């Protein structure tokens, strides 16, 4: 609806411009003919031209100034907008990751009560994913250290190719099946780790350098043997940069 109104307004302006230009030219021609035909004195004809020509010229000048001025303004405005967008993107990437990370209090994670992966059933992961309506699940040990990041799509794919129910599959079975396909859910295979004082640009470059990685895990010093203090999924990062 808005585009239709804008198009109608533009069409009306074009008609007005053509009308003013046409009438101005016609008026000059008509007055010239009248002045020449009705007057025997060349000075009178020139006087008419000198009096009327500036008026019509100002009309034409106003129309031309409006259109050319409008185009110049739009062009300049577009350039400024582009510069602001580039500047904003640069400013965003120079911030630290802890300014955009999801903290443990705001994220859904799976706390492993045991290090024995045989005692954790795949159905437990599915239950957590379903209950909190999430599609990714960072798994941490009892020290709060990141162990795996499991994606719901990988579970769905596994079950589609398996003849077992999720309640019959252990976490170890699941991980071993993907390990056989050369797919791991560990550091530098599924996620990267950075320190809290890492620039967003640096974290973005780290993530892009790891082809299989989709998540950024944040710890105090950027090592795996310390508690996770933040998480940045790739879509979260992309949404921040494009906002």
Residues 146-164 as b or e (16 or more Cβ within 10 Å = b): bbbbbbeebbeebbeeeee
Cα(49)–Cα(57) distance, rounded to whole angstroms? Answer: 11
> Quick check: 218 and 232 in contact, CB under 8 A?
yes
| 87 Cβ contact list (under 8 Å, min separation 6) | none
pLDDT band, residue 93 (cuts 50/70/90): confident
Q: Quick one: DSSP state of residue 100?
A: T
Q: What's the farthest any 2 CA atoms get from each other in the chain?
A: 115
More confident residue, 86 or 130: 130
> Quick check: 56 and 28 in contact, CB under 8 A?
yes
Cα(49)–Cα(64) distance, rounded to whole angstroms? Answer: 22
Taking the domain 97-242, which CATH number applies?
3.10.580.10
Pairing of strands 110-111, 215-219: unpaired
The pLDDT value recorded for residue 226 is 97
The pLDDT value recorded for residue 19 is 73
- The CA–CA distances, whole Å, from 241 to 84, 92, 235 equal 14, 7, 10
The pLDDT value recorded for residue 92 is 84
The pLDDT value recorded for residue 25 is 72
| pLDDT value at 136 more than 80 | yes
**Predicted confidence (pLDDT) per residue in 138-154, tens digit:** 999 999 999 999 999 99
**Predicted confidence (pLDDT) per residue in 4-41, tens digit:** 555 555 556 667 667 766 776 777 677 667 666 665 65
How large is the angle between the packed helices 42-93 and 234-242, nearest 10 degrees? 150
> Quick check: 140 and 228 in contact, CB under 8 A?
yes
> Quick check: 14 and 39 in contact, CB under 8 A?
no
Q: Quick one: DSSP state of residue 162?
A: -
Q: What is the pTM of this model?
A: 0.66
Q: What is the mean pLDDT of residues 224-242?
A: 95
The pLDDT value recorded for residue 187 is 96
Q: Identify the three-state secondary structure at position 117.
A: helix
Length of the chain measured in residues: 243
pLDDT band, residue 242 (cuts 50/70/90): confident
Q: Which two tokens stand for residue 203?
A: 């974290």
CA torsion sign, 147 to 140 to 209 to 153? positive
Q: Which two tokens stand for residue 98?
A: 């802890």
């Amino acid at each position: 609806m808005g585009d239709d109104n804008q198009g109608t307004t533009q069409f009306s302006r074009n008609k007005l411009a053509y009308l003013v230009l046409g009438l101005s030219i016609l008026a000059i021609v008509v007055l010239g003919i009248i002045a020449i035909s009705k007057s025997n004195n060349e000075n009178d004809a020139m006087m008419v031209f000198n009096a009327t020509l500036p008026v019509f010229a100002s009309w034409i000048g106003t129309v031309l100034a409006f259109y050319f001025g409008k185009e110049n303004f739009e062009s300049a405005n577009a350039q400024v907008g582009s510069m602001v967008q580039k500047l904003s993107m640069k400013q965003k990437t120079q911030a630290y990751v802890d300014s955009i990370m999801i903290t443990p209090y705001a994220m859904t994670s799976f706390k492993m009560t045991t290090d024995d992966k045989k005692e954790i059933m795949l159905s437990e992961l599915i239950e957590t994913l379903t209950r909190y309506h999430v599609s990714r699940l960072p798994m941490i040990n009892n020290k709060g250290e990141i162990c795996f990041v499991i994606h719901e799509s990988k579970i769905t794919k596994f079950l589609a190719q398996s003849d077992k129910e999720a309640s019959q599959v252990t976490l170890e079975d699941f991980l071993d099946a993907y390990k056989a396909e050369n797919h791991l859910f560990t550091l530098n295979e599924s996620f990267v780790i950075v320190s809290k004082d890492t620039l967003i640009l640096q974290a973005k470059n780290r993530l892009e350098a790891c082809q299989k990685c989709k998540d950024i895990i944040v710890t105090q010093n950027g090592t795996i043997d310390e508690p996770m203090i933040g998480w940045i999924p790739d879509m979260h990062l992309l949404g921040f940069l494009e906002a």
